[in-house]
Amino acid sequence: MANVLVTGHLGYIGVHLVDVLMSAGHRVVGCDLGLFQGCNWQPIPKPDREIVGDVAKLSETDLDGIDAICHLAAISNDPMGDLDPQLTLQVNRDSSVELARLAKSVGVERFLFSGSCSVYGAGEKLDLDEKDPLNPLTAYAQSKIESEARISELAGDGFSPAFLRNATAYGDSPMLRIDLVVNNLLASALSYGEIRIKSDGSPWRPLIHCRDIARAFLAFVEAPVEVIHNQAVNIGGNRENYQVRDVGDLVKELIPSAGIAYTGEVGEDPRNYRVCFDKLNRLLPDFELEYDLPRGMRALHRQMVDFDFSKDDFEGDRFVRLRTLKHRLDKLNRVA
């Protein structure tokens, strides 16, 4: 059993990670600012201990006895990051690096950083691996790259970071988000009877169920430290790369009455990356994804139908982090 600190434990992935870690017998401490309190649509699992506050203000005492940190807390996607690029760097990069330094100083052995495949941005080729050039197109992606570089420099002397470059998340979570491509297209179909694709549908995205990201963090918590030490690893599956139009077609299979509309409102989306996950399979051969995209979409569709998800839900603040964040940004500015 390990004592694990999960930052951002009240987030879309964090609530799954608390459940996955505790189900595996680990003791979990959660730390979250609570910016999105009230956005859940299902009960949230409770960690063994909870710190309501900013990760930038954690103390040595807060980390006493912690064996591993799963650092998820961040301004969590491209549109949110672009709202205030400088604030994004402060929260995502500077706070992460300071937390890593604090962790090293008090003897926390593992620091697992939640990164993103969006660091590949406009991919120069298909099937990008961890050695390929990084082409960040957003403040969010840039913050992840700079965090990796600075935290990596701290490796050694009993401190072992690893960087999980997660594919684009989707799927059901007690803290549902519809500002993610799969969830958004499904929610659009239920709300309007129309699958609204904002680009021409051609960009590639690697996709992964949010619970599988949590399961990957568990695998990194439990892996031999020498296997993952100071490694950047793409998290996902080779078969789970899709073009956006493929996602639209899968939504239509679930909701045949919905039409597909290419709105073109974002123009030609420069974010285009198909990703290779061979390194994950090599380092952790026993780890397998629990969900493929059709299964994950079916499960989310059932939940949304049972919830009676509607146009009001689609257009409201509850399931769109950017809308909620805009209304609560004053709180974030006070603690950043």
| Tally of residues, the chain | 336
CA distance 37 to 295: 29
Confirm whether 265 is domain-assigned: no
Residue 333: left (phi > 0), alpha (psi -120 to 50), or beta? alpha
| Mean pLDDT, rounded, for 300-323 | 92
Confirm whether 256 is domain-assigned: no
Confirm whether 229 is domain-assigned: yes
Give Cα 306 to chain centroid, integer Å: 25
CA distance 273 to 120: 7
Q: What is the pLDDT of residue 83?
A: 64
CA distance 211 to 230: 24
331 pLDDT band, cuts 50/70/90, is low
CA triplet 237, 287, 76: central angle to 5 degrees?
A: 60
Percent of the chain at pLDDT > 90 equals: 77
How many domains does the chain contain in total?
1
What residue numbers bound the domain in which 125 lies?
Answer: 3-172+209-238+272-290+321-335
- What CATH number should be reported for the domain holding residue 60? 3.40.50.720
CA distance 30 to 54: 11
pTM: 0.94
Confirm whether 198 is domain-assigned: no
Confirm whether 164 is domain-assigned: yes
CA distance 152 to 141: 17
Q: What is the pLDDT of residue 210?
A: 98
CA distance 249 to 95: 40
Confirm whether 315 is domain-assigned: no
Q: What is the pLDDT of residue 323?
A: 77
